[in-house]
Structure 1
Amino acid sequence: MSIDLEQIDELRKRANVSYEDAKNALEQNEGNLIKSLIYLEKQNKIKPDDKPCNDNTFFKNVKSLIKKGNETKLIIKKNDNVVLNICVTLAVIIAISAAPIVIVGLILAVITNHKIRIVKKNNEDSQVNKIFDKVSVVVNKVTTKINEELKTE
């Protein structure tokens, strides 16, 4: 029986062996792919895939998210003075580990008229900034009204 390149490639793909090993295994087993795989397995010639675990799509997605988070900044300003400038990845880690403190801090920042911005790599504004702006406007109106009522009393 003649062995063709397609059979050798298929065996190489399945067993991760050299061309020579694949050809010899197929010749020893009359071109039978299954018998050749068993033969190579008994000879301890089947090698594990060279792909590291980080080739997994899950890890690629996580890596991509972390990269985007590192390139995106959370900036808190008060009258054009930067109070806080950190990457979003760090902000998320802090928010997860100290959620109550972060929530109180954000509320205080909004009440004291600090501007919260999410700035992408190319200094692009994020869609979230529109929401931050709307919240700031509402909170400013409320705090102004409260201050006016306190002054009249």
Structure 2
Amino acid sequence: MSEILWTELEKVDVLRERMGVSYERARFALEANQGDLVKALAELEKEHKEEDGASRWFIDGVKKQMKRLNKTQLNLKHEDKTLLSMSAPLGIALAYTIWKRPTLRMLGLIGAATAAVNHYELEVDSMEEQTEEVEEYDEYPYDIKTVIVPDDEFSENEKVEISE
């Protein structure tokens, strides 16, 4: 169709149908491009891709954190003995459930205070850190050997790692 047949409203309707934007946004895009429908479509598409990139970045970050959380363990220890070990998501769900019920909340606070007084420890153990350390040494191309250096070079016998 020729440019003469297109009315302003028809152009706005085309933008709304194709890009899923509001009337106001479609009208603004047309005005910014002097009524050129193709340029307005290109501009709206570019903005849409930028928004998708930002939302994809956020969603990828959330997924990464969830994977990291799933590799985390909560350990309750007393005198180097592990009394209880559970995954972090389960621990968070349990803590949330206890916190939402007033009677359980009081019991939880009393239990936490008692555990602190009796020197219990809550350890957060990330399995991801351990695997990263192993991967880091797997990529190292040299053999690492431990050498004990004589006393005269250092104040104490210290282990020094050298590579060949």
TM-score surpassing 0.5?
A: no
Structure that is richer in helix per residue? 1
Higher share of residues assigned strand: 2
Q: TM-score, normalised by structure 2?
A: 0.37
In the superposition, the TM-score normalised over structure 1's length comes to 0.39
